[in-house]
Amino acid sequence: MDIGDQASTLKRIVHNKMKNSALRVLAVSSGKGGVGKTNIVANLAFALSKRGKRVLVIDADLGLNNIDILLGLTPKYHIGHVLAGEKNVEDILVKGPAGVTVLPAGDGLQELTQLESENKMLLMEELDKVSQGYDFLIFDTGAGISANVTYFCSAAHEIVLVATTEPTSLTDVYALIKILHQKHAQNHFRLLINAVDSEREAQGVFRNLSAVTDRFLPTLSIEYLGFILSDTNVPKAVRQQRAVMDLFPYSKFSQCVETVAEKIHYEKGLETGEGDGAFFWKSTLLIQ
């Protein structure tokens, strides 16, 4: 059985066994850096938490901590301590704004950029222990097409890709889609367009990308999740190491994030990915 057949079979098993669970696991990724992905993750988590959802954000760019810096957090421990067997996941979790929980990455640790299979197993087993206490787990992956990025995207129930209007952003996000589809049997993606001047501009970006995937990757589907308007308040919040929605709740950026959060909050999990963590993590390990 090839990888694609394994993935299809495992996803059916996952869905049948876990259809009654409320946990949703999102991977937020991008083809390139600098598109505002981590900022969107932080503020989306903030918005979901304000709606009464229990949210755990995993900084899945494991060797380069980002989200704790963005939110002004100072964790004492990080994921490297867990993988070294020195700490459990519960020991390293830190509380962020609006009650969001953050699992911090390492600080400049190159050895974490390419996880071995045993470390993947250890990490997912540790996440199993804490996942039952949350409604959402959000992986903030690194940028690009590294093994860690494709792994965490494959481990999630839903893949949200962040892109901008820049040609390099679209080229790179298409490359990520292609790899996840052809080598990791991922067939559904949600696209969020960041830093646009209007919704019309965002929809144009989505149509252009959809046209390419329809032509060259016709068996996958891409869903338009929404758009985030350009906003001068974003760099102000970054400099203060605060969530934009915390400092500027009525800004254009915050209102756009609210719209996306509202959509995610009220919808059901995607059919191929509803369910509880434990069985899903172990299934994912089999197809890597």
pLDDT per residue rounded down to tens, the chain (288 residues)? 444 444 444 444 444 434 435 789 999 999 888 999 999 999 999 999 999 999 999 998 876 778 999 999 999 988 888 888 898 889 999 999 999 999 998 765 555 556 677 777 777 787 888 888 899 999 999 888 888 889 889 889 999 999 999 999 999 999 999 999 999 999 999 999 999 999 999 999 999 999 999 999 999 999 999 999 999 999 999 999 999 999 999 999 999 999 999 999 988 654 434 434 444 544 454 445
**Does a structural domain hold residue 242?**
yes
**Does a structural domain hold residue 83?**
no
**What is residue 66's predicted lDDT score, i.e. its pLDDT?**
86
**What is residue 88's predicted lDDT score, i.e. its pLDDT?**
87
**What is residue 80's predicted lDDT score, i.e. its pLDDT?**
82
**Does a structural domain hold residue 225?**
yes
Q: What is the CATH number for 195? A: 3.40.50.300
**Does a structural domain hold residue 95?**
no
Rounded Cα distance between 62 and 82, Å, is 12
**What is residue 21's predicted lDDT score, i.e. its pLDDT?**
59
**What is residue 120's predicted lDDT score, i.e. its pLDDT?**
75
**What is residue 273's predicted lDDT score, i.e. its pLDDT?**
41
Query: What single string gives the DSSP state of each residue in 133-176?
Result: T-SEEEEEEPSSS-HHHHHHHHHSSEEEEEE-SSHHHHHHHHHH
Quick one: which of 214, 215, 146, 150 has its CA closest to 186?
A: 150
Domain, as residue range, for 138: 3-36+46-54+124-286
For residue 267, the 8-state DSSP code is S
**What is residue 132's predicted lDDT score, i.e. its pLDDT?**
83
Question: Cβ atoms within 10 A of the Cβ of 245, count?
Answer: 25
Output the CA–CA distances (angstroms, integers) from residue 244 to 97, 182, 235, 257, in the order listed.
11, 36, 9, 10
Residue 169 CB-density burial (10 A; 0-12 exposed, 13-18 middle, 19+ buried): buried
Rounded Cα distance between 102 and 24, Å, is 16
**Does a structural domain hold residue 80?**
no
Phi and psi angles of residue 195, each rounded to the nearest 5 degrees, phi first:
60, 50
**What is residue 62's predicted lDDT score, i.e. its pLDDT?**
76
**Does a structural domain hold residue 115?**
no
What tokens appear for 85 in the block? 């067997």
Q: What are the strands of the beta sheet with 221-229, ordered from one edge? A: 94-95, 101-103, 55-60, 136-141, 24-29, 158-163, 188-196, 221-229
**What is residue 111's predicted lDDT score, i.e. its pLDDT?**
52
User: What is the distance between the terminal CA atoms of the chain, rounded to a whole angstrom?
Assistant: 14
Rounded Cα distance between 171 and 163, Å, is 10
**Does a structural domain hold residue 66?**
no
**What is residue 172's predicted lDDT score, i.e. its pLDDT?**
96
DSSP bridge partners of 227: 193
Q: How many domains does the chain have?
A: 1
